[in-house]
Structure 1
């Protein structure tokens, strides 16, 4: 999973503009390694990441980070997909520079000691990425939070019932 982060994030395609971006990475593991991935890969790294974010909230500028998994068609492996969502290209550049600072030079050994070796369970050749996506704002749909939307639908149904005389 060696990513040369020191330069690639500065070359965001011009057509992406300065709007929201999503950074993704995917890989496969053997199904039998699922618990290792959850305990060490997601649990330990996730806990470390959350602690770091709480301690330095102005440094961590992504709006969302998520991980997904699904059984692969062969039944023997799982596909994992990770994403960070950024509100702007500048927030993305800032965060990637921070990662470079934290994982190179004097800090590299300290950070390596805290991280689970994902490559030890990753199926060789299965990694895809990193990939950077730009939002197509022309087709964006913003939804109200579910509870607010559910209450509004209930009110609309009640109003329709009243107009029909039910």
Structure 2
């Protein structure tokens, strides 16, 4: 079954985010709202579309377009959102791996040595040690990450070249003989 797609254009006007359904609704039906916070737009616009069409929130797609300062910003906003998803999944994986490592090293190394190994404070090691560690399905995480990275690669193909990274000067140490 093919789900209908509704196009929503988002702009910034008078210190508010303005979202308007620009395609997909019946003629004469207007779906629009103002928002103070960007994070409110997606769930609220889906609810508005659902109310106007009678479709359940999972029975349609939304194509987002972002007009920022008179310029099309959809690709950049989509790229950022995708990067946030990848970062969140990576952080979850890191946190679980770190917790598992701390659990495995408990009693074998001091908290200070574990902290040094992980590059965090010994107080943070103690906090992590005393919190529950969740299991992460690495196959599922890997699949989601690969999918997200493929989207990021596609978006990056159209992106302008990035500025070269700034290099850091290596600190030198004096060794006394």
TM-score in terms of structure 1 length? 0.25
RCO comparison, higher one (Cα < 8 Å, 6+): 1
Larger radius of gyration: 2
Name the one with the larger strand percent: 1
TM-score in terms of structure 2 length? 0.23
